[in-house]
Structure 1
Amino acid sequence: MDLTRRHVLTGAAGIAAAPLLPAISAHATAPMADKQAPSFYRYKVGDIQVTVVSDGKNVFKLEDSFITNAKKEEVSAALQKAYMAPDMMTIYFAPLVINTGGKLVVIDTGNGALAKTNSKGANGLFAENFVAAGFDPKNVDMVVISHFHGDHVNGLLTAEGTPAFPNAEVLVPATEWKFWMDDGEMSRAPAGRMQGLFKNNRSIFEASLKKKVTPYEWGKEIAPGLTSVETIGHTPGHTSYVLASGSGKVFIQSDVTNNPNPFASNPGWHAFFDQDGDQAEKTRRRVYDMVVAEKLQVQGFHYPFPGLGHVEKDGNGYRVIPAPWNPSI
């Protein structure tokens, strides 16, 4: 077509002279959503499939006592540097479901069904997200516990106080079991949080599970491809894991750090929930130096969802680089 300057000008004039078309309004017929889709994410480690299942999060006001060896102003500045609210702390929770092909294994269980009500749906979401991910609690062969804090063990029970995984063997770290089931340790526990932990653990493991657990040692393959690793300090028997299959390997760090901002970037900071802060720091530096040197992927229970990434040195601390979201498995 021969498009001349005269045609262009004539067309432009016509458009300018034409009356404006009446505005067409769009009608939003769909209601606004009031919650996210079920939160789970899958990836492969060799022939093993890992499903990260969110238990939600806890957001609370930053207090002076949150980190015992740093000023609140320093912590606020670190949070703000990470584009987080300077006066609030967010802790995420993400248990794992591992399908080895022959066994279905759950690692840690989240805050439990009662937490969903108490938190108004902010956490305690593992059970419903677990089912949404296509799993049946009756089909779980093993539940592996890393340590005895409520956000890891409370999900062993339903809201009615019955076993959440009725056919599963429950495996616990031998050192952790010995500490929390020791009457002498319980009698010496300080009032407040520690006494509450002893009471909660006794309620779950003695009253409800009736001590039907299998203690495991460190350095052992406790499930196909899953080897336990000593990472003490957070608790006396705190345990992490190496999951390996074929050429794939990931370090499941449990609570070596909490949210990497600020605890990976400031590995010397001691949180109030670390039972032995000095030992927890030594473990944190040892583990993170190892995963940096070996370029291991790390799966963090308290990392922002889905919690898979790499760690690199960053000044006096470390930086967690989240793994890219992969739409395929």
Structure 2
Amino acid sequence: MELSRRHALAGAAALAASPFILNVPARAVAPLADKQAPGFYRYRVGDIQVNAISDGAGSFPLTDAYIANAKKDEINAALARAFLPKDRITTFYAPLVLNIGGKLVLIDTGNGQGAFASSKGNVGQFTTNMVAAGLDPKAIDTVVISHFHGDHVNGLLLADGTPAFPNAEVLVPAAEWKFWMDDAEMSRASGDRMTGLFKNNRRVFEAGLKKKVTPYEWDKDVVPGLLAVASIGHTPGHTSYVLSSGSDTLFVQSDVTNLPALFATNPDWHVMYDQDPAQAQATRHKVYDMLVAEKMRVQGFHYPFPANGFVEKDGNGYRLMPAPWSPVM
């Protein structure tokens, strides 16, 4: 027997009208919760413990400028296929804390405490969630930065401008450091977004952090077990990582894609955040073809939390298959 929507609704109406319902004693209404549980999730890559820590999620209206080579109708159609709201973009943020070789290594830092108030608590949650996960910011040994956008570097500072991880060395991509710290490049910047990025990066890295900053090169381990891989286009020094322990691997893609429902599915779309859109497009295909071929688990900074899974080919694009949640380590 097939159950139609009409049958289901009729059954629900009959249940609501049942006289037995009237004989159930009333119970006190439980108060509604006003917050989510702390946002963290742990899994292992060989002997390495990966702690995905949510920095929250920010939403904003879809504009014509968001994707340069797609119309709003196309974008809304992609959002609808992913069961996401029309005319609205929600961006997720998920820095990582690695427990690797007895050291705590943080990859990217989120939007920072200063963004918590301005976003009404939607973002800037990283430090609170990190502490809830039993991780002390003072215990972070190394901070590894993938690129110099505010949602990755602003968390280096507390709201009062002091270092958020006072005992950590800060490692940055050499190519990224060279570009954003170049006065000539800064003088050539145009538009509010690029000029704002230069000013923000000078603010962050000159606020007591410069002495702790060490540039690193691609194709070398940043720390043992964490290989830095060039994945340029999003920025000139944008970096991804291969985390390895024994035969187990994880690809940390940073911002190779933003929201996967849009940019994994449509890898040729040019999001406004990509500094070199054509290069970013080529990088997406290269990285995602590798992930498909290797069947490698991937962690994405802007994937829906807990922000990891596997990629399969899907027509001209790709599809993210979220890794199943595990209740145990």
TM-score w.r.t. length of structure 1 = 0.92
Aligned 8 A contact 2:158 2:164 in 1: yes
Deviations 1:145-179 (A, max 9, x none): 00000000000001110000000000000000000
Question: In structure 2, the residue corresponding to 1:273 is in which secondary structure?
Answer: coil
Q: Which residue of 2 is the match for residue 309 of structure 1? A: 309
C-alpha distance in 1, partners of 2:25/2:204? 61
The corresponding residue for 2:227 is: 227
Looking at structure 2, the residues matched to 101 and 177 of structure 1 have their Cα atoms a distance apart, in angstroms, of 27
- Which residue identity is paired with 1:164? A
Match of 1:85 in 2: 85
Output aligned runs, 1:166-177, within 5 Å: 166-177=166-177
Distance 2:230 2:269 in 1: 20
Partner of 2:297: 297
Work out whether 1:25 is the aligned partner of 2:21: no
Paired residues, what number?
A: 310
The one-character-per-residue Cα deviations of 1:20-50 (angstroms, maximum 9, x if unpaired) are: 995411113x421111010000000000000
CA shift in 2, pair 1:313/1:21, >3 Å: closer
Q: What amino acid does structure 2 have at the position aligned with 1:105?
A: V
Whether the aligned pair in 2 keeps the contact of 1:55 and 1:126 (CA below 8 Å) is yes
Alpha-carbon displacement from aligned partner over 1:205-235 (angstroms, at most 9, x marks no partner): 0133134201000011111210000000000
Distance 1:111 1:150 in 2: 6
| Deviation at residue 191 of structure 1 after TM alignment | 2.7
Q: Which residue does 1:261 correspond to in 2?
A: 261
Partners in 2 of 1:48 and 1:207 — Cα distance? 32
2:153 is the alignment partner of 1:153: yes
Cα–Cα, structure 1 residues 140 and 26, in superposed 2: closer, same or farther, change >3 Å?
same
Question: Which residue is equivalent to 2:275?
Answer: 275
Which runs of no fewer than 5 residues in structure 2 stay unpaired?
A: 1-19
The answer to whether structure 1 residue 198 and structure 2 residue 207 are counterparts is no
Q: Within 5 Å, give how 1:81-120 maps onto structure 2.
A: 81-120=81-120
Output the CA distance in 1 between the equivalents of 2:21 and 2:28: 21
Distance in 2, matches of 1:21 and 1:237, equals 67
Code of the residue aligned with 2:75 in structure 1: it is V
For residues 168-207 of structure 1, give each alpha carbon's deviation from its aligned partner in whole angstroms, at most 9, with x where no partner exists: 0000000000000000000000130000000000001013
Q: 1:72: how far off? A: 1.1
In 2, Cα distance between the equivalents of 1:172 and 1:318?
30
SS at match of 2:210: coil
Runs of 4+ in 1 over 6 A off after TM superposition: none
Q: Cα deviations across residues 258-299 of structure 1 (Å, max 9, x unaligned)?
A: 010100000000001100000000000000001100110000
Task: Call closer, same or farther: CA 1:21–1:132 in 2, change over 3 Å.
Answer: closer
**In the alignment, what sits opposite 1:208?**
208
Following superposition, the deviation at residue 246 of structure 1 comes to: 1.1
Give 1:62 deviation, angstroms: 0.4
Q: 1:89-121 CA deviation, whole Å, 9 max, x = no partner? A: 111000000001321000000000010000000
Listed as ranges, the gaps of 5+ residues in structure 1 are 1-18
C-alpha distance in structure 2 between counterparts of 1:184 and 1:128, whole Å = 38
Query: TM-score if structure 2 supplies the norm length?
Result: 0.92
Counterpart CA distance in 1 for 2:138 and 2:306 is 25
1:63 aligns with 2:50: no
| Separation in 2, partners of 1:182, 1:113 | 27
Residues 146 and 26 of structure 1: is their aligned pair in 2 closer, same or farther, counting only changes over 3 Å? same
Identity of matched residues, %: 66
Q: How far apart, CA to CA, are the structure 1 residues paired with 2:128 and 2:23?
A: 49
Determine the structure 2 residue equivalent to 1:7: none
Matched residue of 1:67: which SS? coil
| Residue in 2 that maps onto 1:49 | 49
Aligned to 1:284: 284
**Separation of aligned partners in 1, 2:47 and 2:273:** 36
Contact 2:161 2:207 survives alignment (8 Å)? no
- 1:51 match: secondary structure: strand
Letter in structure 2 aligned against 1:119 = S
1-structure distance, mates of 2:24, 2:253: 57
CA contact (8 A) 1:205 1:211 kept: no
Q: Distance in 2 between matches of 1:34 and 1:126?
A: 19
Question: Which residue in 1 is equivalent to 2:133?
Answer: 133
